Chain A
Amino acid sequence: MMPLVGEVAQLGRRSVVRTLRQPANVIAPVLFPIALLAVNSGGLAAATKIPGFPTHFYAAFALAVPFMQGALFATMNAGTDLARDIQTGFLNRLALTPMRGLALIAGQLAGVAAAALVQAIIYICVGFVIGVHFQSGPVGIGVLLLLAVLIAISFGAVGALLALRTGSGEAVQGFFPLLFVFLIISSFNLPRNLIEIGWFRAVATANPVSYLIEGIRSLIIEGWNGEALALAFAVTAILAVVAFGLASLALRQRMART
């Protein structure tokens, strides 16, 4: 029997190839967040005048958001690809091989990771082009790439879970607005301490997405903020473990081979 890592590599290669052969899955997660970055940076630039705002350059503050939006796209793409495998019967084909279920999800997420890495590099390049100075330096950029990929993988696991639970690509896509709401009700436009509306600040504080954004943002505008990074990595790890665990259970039910 092939080792688990070999199975993951086989399925990961397929996932990467599939991702690269669907231009919409690569282009949309790059263009849409950058367009939104441009709009927000222009429209909300005045927010930097609020006392206590952590930077004078709003685009640098907002640059964290594309990473999250890219991760949201990763959720959808991973989910719809897996759902398509269920709908077309490709999952049954895989189930007839000695492949472990764990390898299927991990392999699927390899494509997500590859796409997330490419996207993150593009976002960083865009940052350089518009004049963002990454306060954490080259090592921080490396950590930023790592965090972005891990966030995308954890969100991709959520997509896989949705696919395995629903078995429908359309149903997975139907969750996109819901997940987007999580981004909106986070600290994506303002630091939490500057949100004046009490309930919004409370929701943003309870929303794990805020900590992911703040971790990325800290590397861009602050330098090395241990607490923000620890929270971001912890939330990512918890999300990944929970989503991956639930997705594995869902796969066991979906792929009910004896």
Chain B
Amino acid sequence: MNGADNGIEVEGLVREFKGLRAVDGIDLTVAPGEIYGFLGPNGAGKSTTVHMLTTLLPPSAGSARVAGFDIVREGPKVRAAIGAALQEAALDPLLTGREHLRLQTGLHGFSREERKARTAELLERVGLVGAADRRVRTYSGGMKRRLDLALALVHRPRILFLDEPTTGLDPQSRSALWQEVGRLAKDEGVTIFLTTQYLEEADVLADRVGIIDRGHIVAEGTPTGLKAEIGRPSVEAVPAKPTERNRLAATLARFGEAVNGSPTAVAVRLERTDNLVDVVRALDAAGLVLEDLRLHAPSLDDVFLAKTGRHLEGAEDEDADG
């Protein structure tokens, strides 16, 4: 890999804090132009990884190259090639959006004219023209995140690190940010390393996903591939009359093996992924009246469950308890 590359290569990266390994020997590769989703619960090591890859934190061991540059020996070159919006939307509440962008463009060495032009361009892109001269303390969470993204893009980085960019955002703001991230990768070829604890975000946005837990990468692949590894979808039905539960179980048993569902439901894992229509026809033919019928496609949470024995949601609490 050389300096013109937009990829990330990580080998055996470790970071210890007082003997505790927050990141414990991870290996990963992100291809140029790819959106890589780094998924895991709070405290899994996502942010520590990002801090190392963005040169803000020296690793305890291992190596990584970002945009073709070594993160330890070539920190300034790495920083020149990357942009980062870190977990905290690190903004000054006393400054306006425009002042933030002017400061950032100034520190990146833009001339006065370039500063003005780039500031206007980025404000337009993130939809903050109307709020540009308001102090940031009056911004909503979504506006802060958009400004954060604009600041990360000031120097036209080839690789963008986004550390939990949509945490705490309302669905509309989240969707808008997803669109912008997707556009950056698709239209501008920016490589994106995105950490998230939201399954949906990784599923929708990422070309590939790495799942990290307790400092280790426990699974890596495309969202579709990872879910396919886990298995087939299951169908779960709740009879309108509890007395018909056995008849319902017998009907569904023709389509797959029984699996655990909710206490009032009967659930089976389908033998084929395309026979839901047959299931509905069979239930209808048997004259069964249902209160509820659901198809469960495997999710990234199922992947996390299969790899760690825990659900992604609540994994942090379990870690704390344990």
**Contacting residues, chain B, for A90 (C-beta < 8 A):** 90-92
The interface stretch among A10-18, A36-44, A72-80 is A10-18
Q: A132: CB under 8 A from chain B?
A: no
In the complex, the answer to whether A99 meets B56 with C-beta atoms within 8 Å is no
B80 on interface, CB distance cutoff 8 Å: yes
Question: What's the tally of chain B residues with a CB closer than 8 Å to chain A?
Answer: 33
CB closest residue in chain A, given B96: A17
| Contact A93–B56 (Cβ < 8 Å) | no
Does B176 interact with chain A (Cβ within 8 Å)? no
A258 to B15, CA, bound (A): 14
B106 touches A98 (CB 8 A): no
User: Is B84 an interface position by the 8 A CB rule?
Assistant: yes
A82–B71 CA distance with the chains assembled, in angstroms: 27
> Is A98 a contact of B80 with CB atoms below 8 Å?
yes
Q: Mark A18-32, 1 if CB is under 8 A from B, else 0.
A: 100110000000000
Flag whether A193 is at the interface (Cβ < 8 A).
Answer: no
User: Contact at B86–A93, with CB atoms within 8 Å?
Assistant: yes
Partner of A10, one of B56, B79, B103: B103
Q: Please, which residues of chain B bring their CB within 8 A of the CB of A96?
A: 54-56, 79, 82-84
Q: How large is the interface on A (under 10, 10 to 19, 20 to 34, 35 or more residues)?
A: 20 to 34
A131 in the interface, Cβ–Cβ < 8 Å? no
* Stretch of A1-9, A116-124, A195-203 on the interface side: A1-9
Q: Which 9 A-B pairs have the closest CB atoms?
A: A89-B90, A258-B75, A89-B88, A97-B107, A10-B106, A2-B109, A258-B55, A93-B90, A90-B90
Complex A-B: 23 CB contacts under 8 Å = A2-B107, A2-B108, A7-B107, A17-B95, A21-B94, A89-B86, A92-B86, A93-B104, A93-B151, A96-B55, A96-B82, A96-B83, A97-B107, A97-B108, A98-B79, A98-B109, A99-B107, A257-B55, A257-B56, A257-B79, A258-B55, A258-B71, A258-B72
* Contacts A89-B90, A93-B86 known; 11 new A-B pairs at CB < 8 A: A2-B109, A10-B107, A11-B103, A11-B107, A14-B95, A18-B92, A18-B95, A88-B90, A92-B90, A256-B56, A258-B55
**Interface residues of A, Cβ cutoff 8 Å to B:** 1-2, 6-7, 10-11, 13-14, 17-18, 21-22, 85, 88-90, 92-99, 256-258
